[in-house]
Amino acid sequence: MTVPPDALRRTGGVPIKSIVFEREVIAARVREMGQEITAAFPDGDLLLLGLLKGSFVFMADLARAIERPLQVDFMVASSYGKGTTSSGNVRLLYDPATDLAGKHVLVVEDIIDTGRTLQRLLSLLAARQPASLGVCALLDKKIAAPIPEVRFVGFDCPPAFIVGYGLDHAENYRHLPFVAELG
């Protein structure tokens, strides 16, 4: 896709190689996912459990697109640090305060990459006896072994390092309204 003139300004001068998903395409898919989730969970307590920091933009839009009562909480796990590849060392930095027992828990993730962080967190959450446990990810690179709990995916993602719409590189670029590959 063509890189708009303001993209260079928005990244502080760091070139964007390409825009992978435009703002409007993301918004339309998030609305569709909200409808899918609304239909999949017609009753019971629904908890959206966002993985910070990357999921915060997606989760805010998704929560507004789901047309039923829900609760929101967050977890913080880290496996990247300042690099562009996962270190494989997953650290849980913040554990949710919400009681998960008997609730439909939907983990909201920005991107499924290696799947290591997600698999570790799902094991931890399953032990807390939710009524159901699923994953909703904006992006899936399709390089991880299949994870049965992944129920909703916005887009298949190319194997590039991408930023924007909550995704970062060393805490930068989360503010971009689109998903882009850095140049």
Cross-strand pairs, 21:
179
Q: Which of these is catalytic: 61, 110, 113, 140?
A: 113
Sheet holding 162-163, edge to edge: 16-21, 179-182, 162-163
Q: DSSP E strands: which ranges in the chain?
A: 16-21, 46-52, 71-78, 91-94, 104-112, 132-140, 150-156, 162-163, 179-182
Q: How many other C-beta atoms can be found within 10 angstroms of the C-beta atom of residue 50?
A: 26
Please state, in angstroms and rounded to a whole number, the distance separating the CA atoms of residues 60 and 165. 11
- The span from the first CA to the last CA of the chain, in angstroms, equals 13
Asked about 113 being catalytic, the answer comes back as yes
Asked if 138 and 151 count as a contact pair (C-beta separation under 8 A), the reply is no
Distance of alpha carbon 49 from alpha carbon 108, whole angstroms: 6
Q: Which of 27, 28, 26, 70 is nearest to 50 (CA)?
A: 70
Catalytic residues: 113
